[in-house]
Structure 1
Amino acid sequence: MKVFKLRNPAGVTSPRRIPSGQRPSGAKPGTERLSRQELSSKNGEGNLIHRADETGRGSSRQVTELECQSTQTPVIKSQKTELNQTIEELENTLRDKEEEIEKLKEELETMNDLMEQKDTLTQNLEETELRSRVLEEQLAGAEQRLQENQEEQENFRKSLRTLLELLDGKIFELTELRDTLARLIEEAS
């Protein structure tokens, strides 16, 4: 960065005002008027130089600022480009995350539906298991009654066989008795 300064040309000093009636030291009489003219001329030049110096300083500040801005412009453009790229990347990342969130929401809804189905199926399974236990108990009761009935039938059969054997014995005895009676009747006749 260059800074430009306007300098006072050598030998030009700001004029001093001399009160009227006084002469500068070493001044000749009669040259006072000339000195005043010179002084006013020099005073005008001094003012011009002073204004030019101030303008130069302001201009140099402006030049410096413009030079700073001109050197900063590519940096700013580069930073702006980088920021735009970063913003674009962040927007893409945000878009991707939003899509991922939507997918996760859909999966969550599906999962909630599946959880509801699971709960329903679990409840149905528990009810089925309860009915199964009740049916198993009923089956066990029926099997026990069946076994008791089978035992009763077996006992009844045994009793019936015993009774049939007894009846067979009695029938046989009665048959013998009839045969004996028939012989006796035949012999008696």
Structure 2
Amino acid sequence: MFNSLYKNISRYIQLSETEFEDFSEYFKLHSYKKKDIILHEGEYCLFEGFVLNGCFKVFFLNEQGTEQTLYFAVDNWWITDLDSLINNVPSVLNIEALEDSQVLMISKKDKELLYGVMPLVEKLFRIMNQQSSIALQRRILSLMNKTADKRYLEFLEKYPSLEQRLTQQQVASYLGISHEFLSKIRKKTTLGK
């Protein structure tokens, strides 16, 4: 169960087997059913989660009440609302399980305790937050600078197996377009092959 977490964090820091055992004791396994909401808009986010298996969408409702997907979190991805978690403000995001899923969760309180016992872990979360910021910056630039066709092709290239796990509506929400427009793009893409 913790093997994938170990591989994930080993990209950023090196922990001995004993250190990793100590580290992993701060995480609790949670199972969620499809459609479970693990964070509602207006709540305070008090966790970071590492997805062992399953799929989540992190989304918000715009002023028109339309769902806008910020990102999807699948196996070996992290989920949280960083703004709410770090700044202790109510979340503007919702996190919903799109499949039955298992997540290793660490509470904000336990994460702070872990920083005190294992200072190297603070480096881990700093690097992960930087990587998350880079990914979101690239996503914003893509939304602002690329056509919907290019964003769709980029999505397929970046997440080759994810489209089969999502509805057309979910993919369209992520791309910032209507599902009708996504249908047209898919037809065009299929004809172009």
Normalising by the smaller structure, the TM-score range is under 0.3
With the length of structure 1 as denominator, give the TM-score of the two structures.
0.17
With the length of structure 2 as denominator, give the TM-score of the two structures.
0.17
Higher strand content, 1 or 2: 2
Higher helix content, 1 or 2: 1
Larger radius of gyration: 1
